[in-house]
């Protein structure tokens, strides 16, 4: 009986999200009208269709419902599926020659903030569609989470429960919860977005480029308005530094940024994952700067600018590229491959494995070394100032196993479509990690995913959703125990 009434919750939440999505479509309609694009009706039709279905679902869900907590995992998956499905409409209507698999791929890449693209000719693409790609990434960055947190408390459900099913934030306990936290997160996200747009504009971007690139930077999504990605602005290196700064800020835990906004001055630098993240960025950037100067005779400042920008872009899973860094040399290829897996901080807009999981796995390794020397000793493992029990360490180890197993399985699936080793492996890694470009001549920084077979695109699309929802949220739905009761 409870399972039957739970469907009303699904109707209502998904309906509200679709109504909000239609609002983004109306904003895009206004952009298309402003630029005198005849395709404005495509966004208008998409908005009408989406809001109609949304209101219908809200009406269907008007009855009283009961909540089964484990159904929140299924609700999370359905929310993302519904958003992705209806977000394809503008792509299908504006680009009628675009294959549906390509529309789905582009949409999923946007919503999951992966940044991989199958579109070419971005320099001459309608402004409305470029804006739609950008606003989808902005919504996917944290917007869906904030919307859900705002909706669920109104339905007498703790909104943070849904937040936890799709984000690995471990810093939440030190700050307010539920509606107050969602408000602060939204404010921080908005402040970052507006600040980034403003500095881009003052730095020389057009107003349109500043708005769209500001949205995709703060979302750590990486969609650009040009085929050359952010390399289009290489003649204005200060823009690369501005972008690097905001990618770093967006890759920090949002709740810690909220804490800093509320007056906790040193809260960021007391967090061990923040310190580790910044240390990795500095080390990799300086190493690549030295490598480019010594091996490619590149001027120090130019090497530093592009090293910092591309390292930050990859480790934050943003996916911008200022140039083809896979051509820098062997060290660069291996280093970028490594940080593709890393990810930034938990509770941020970035994807990837996340720094804190690597740190906790390191704690487990140290403990094993200690036990080899002192088998009967007892230690209290600490992460920062907090004690860490064996259960948490075990769960992190299990996630790391599933993470790399998912990449290996997806790479194996991609190889069935006759993709070469580098394309298959880095394509799987970039999908699960939500990075964007891979390595090699096909899907590297200078290429895109348009030439891949349709089956490979479907697999990568699934991999992007799998990675964005932290893998276990989706895999749990395929286990018999989830459906048993």
Predicted TM-score (pTM) of this structure: 0.89
pLDDT of the residue at 21:
93
State pLDDT tens for residues 57-109: 988 887 776 667 677 788 888 888 999 999 999 999 999 999 999 999 999 99
Q: Is the per-residue pLDDT at 162 higher than 70? A: no
Angle between helices 144-154 and 71-87 (to 10 degrees): 130
Question: What is the rounded distance in angstroms from the CA atom of residue 124 to the CA atom of residue 122?
Answer: 5
Contacts of 221 (CB under 8 A, 6+ apart): 110, 113, 114, 115, 134, 137, 138, 140, 141, 215, 318, 319
Question: Among 71-80, 249-258, 294-303, 441-450, which stretch is predicted with the lowest mean pLDDT?
Answer: 71-80
CA distances for 315 relative to 47, 143, 226, 248, 335, angstroms: 35, 21, 22, 9, 11
| DSSP calls for 302-336 | HHHHHHHHHHHHHHTT----SS-GGGS-HHHHHHH
Estimate to the nearest angstrom the gap between the alpha carbon of 173 and the chain centroid: 23
Question: What is the rounded distance in angstroms from the CA atom of residue 104 to the CA atom of residue 72?
Answer: 24
Q: Is the per-residue pLDDT at 172 higher than 50? A: no
Burial 95-121 (b: 16+ CB within 10 A, else e): beebeebbbbbbbbbbbbbbbbbbbee
Q: Is the per-residue pLDDT at 165 higher than 50? A: no
| DSSP calls for 328-376 | S-HHHHHHHHHHHHH---TTSS--SS-HHHHHHHHHHHHHHHHHHH-TT
Burial 283-295 (b: 16+ CB within 10 A, else e): ebbeebbebbbee
Please give the angle made by the CA atoms of 256, 258 and 259, to the nearest 5 degrees.
60
Contacts of 268 (CB under 8 A, 6+ apart): 252, 256, 257, 259, 260, 274
pLDDT of the residue at 4:
56
**CB neighbours of residue 148 within 10 Å:** 26
Question: What is the rounded distance in angstroms from the CA atom of residue 358 to the CA atom of residue 344?
Answer: 11
**In this structure, what token pair is assigned to residue 229?**
């990605």
pLDDT of the residue at 7:
77
Contacts of 289 (CB under 8 A, 6+ apart): 300, 303, 304, 307, 308
DSSP character for 65? Answer: -
Whether the CB-CB separation of 350 and 288 falls below 8 Å is answered with no
Pairing of β 386-387 and β 382-383: antiparallel
Q: Indicate if the alpha-carbon torsion angle 288, 294, 297, 302 is positive or negative.
A: positive
State pLDDT tens for residues 14-24: 898 899 999 99
The confidence band for 346, taking pLDDT boundaries of 50, 70 and 90, is confident
Whether the CB-CB separation of 322 and 240 falls below 8 Å is answered with yes
The confidence band for 218, taking pLDDT boundaries of 50, 70 and 90, is very high
The confidence band for 146, taking pLDDT boundaries of 50, 70 and 90, is low
The SS3 call for residue 387 is strand
The confidence band for 43, taking pLDDT boundaries of 50, 70 and 90, is very high
pLDDT of the residue at 5:
65
Question: What is the rounded distance in angstroms from the CA atom of residue 8 to the CA atom of residue 205?
Answer: 47
Q: Indicate if the alpha-carbon torsion angle 72, 75, 79, 84 is positive or negative.
A: positive
Average per-residue pLDDT in the chain? 85
Question: What is the rounded distance in angstroms from the CA atom of residue 469 to the CA atom of residue 454?
Answer: 23
pLDDT of the residue at 145:
55
Q: Is the per-residue pLDDT at 446 higher than 70? A: yes
The confidence band for 231, taking pLDDT boundaries of 50, 70 and 90, is very high
């Amino acid at each position: 009986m409870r399972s039957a009434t739970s469907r009303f919750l699904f109707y209502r939440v998904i309906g509200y999200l679709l109504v909000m999505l239609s609002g983004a479509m109306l904003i895009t309609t206004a952009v298309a009208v402003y630029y005198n694009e005849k395709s404005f009706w495509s966004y208008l039709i998409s908005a009408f269709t989406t809001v109609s279905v949304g209101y219908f679902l809200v009406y269907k869900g008007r009855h009283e419902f009961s909540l089964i907590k484990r159904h929140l995992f299924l609700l999370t998956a359905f929310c993302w599926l519904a958003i992705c499905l209806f977000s394809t409409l503008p792509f299908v209507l504006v680009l009628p020659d675009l294959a549906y698999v390509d529309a789905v791929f582009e949409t999923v890449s946007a919503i999951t903030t992966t940044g991989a693209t199958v579109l070419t000719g971005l320099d001459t693409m309608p402004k409305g569609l470029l804006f739609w790609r950008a606003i989808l990434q902005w919504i996917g960055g944290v917007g869906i989470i904030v919307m859900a947190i705002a909706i669920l408390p109104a339905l007498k459900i703790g909104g943070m429960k849904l937040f936890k099913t799709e984000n690995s934030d471990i810093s939440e306990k030190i700050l307010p919860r539920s509606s107050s936290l969602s408000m602060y997160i939204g404010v921080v996200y908005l402040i970052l977005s507006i600040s980034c747009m403003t500095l881009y504009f003052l730095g020389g971007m057009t107003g349109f480029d500043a708005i769209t690139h500001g949205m995709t930077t703060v979302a750590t999504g990486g969609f650009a308005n040009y085929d050359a990605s952010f390399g289009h602005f290489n003649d204005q290196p200060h823009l690369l530094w501005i972008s690097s700064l905001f990618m770093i800020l967006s890759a920090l835990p949002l709740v810690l940024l909220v804490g800093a906004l509320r007056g906790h001055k040193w809260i960021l630098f007391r967090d061990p994952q923040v310190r580790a993240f910044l240390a990795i960025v500095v080390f990799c950037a300086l190493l690549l700067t030295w490598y480019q100067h010594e091996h490619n005779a590149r001027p120090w400042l130019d090497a530093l600018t592009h090293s910092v920008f591309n390292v930050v872009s990859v480790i934050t899973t943003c996916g911008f590229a200022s140039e083809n860094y896979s051509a820098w040399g062997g060290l660069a290829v291996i280093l970028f491959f490594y940080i593709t897996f890393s990810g930034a901080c938990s509770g941020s807009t970035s994807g990837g494995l996340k720094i804190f999981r690597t740190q906790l796995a390191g704690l487990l390794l140290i403990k094993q070394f200690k036990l080899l020397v002192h088998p009967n000793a007892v230690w209290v493992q600490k992460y920062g100032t907090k004690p860490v029990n064996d259960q948490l360490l075990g769960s992190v180890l299990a996630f790391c196993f599933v993470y790399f197993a998912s990449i290996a399985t997806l790479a194996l699936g991609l190889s069935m479509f006759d993709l070469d080793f580098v394309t298959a492996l880095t394509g799987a890694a970039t999908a699960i990690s939500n990075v964007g470009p891979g390595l090699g001549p096909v899907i590297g920084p200078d290429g895109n995913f348009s030439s891949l077979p349709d089956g490979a695109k479907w697999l990568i699309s699934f991999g992007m959703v799998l990675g964005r929802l932290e893998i276990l949220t989706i895999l749990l739905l395929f286990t018999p125990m989830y459906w048993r009761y």
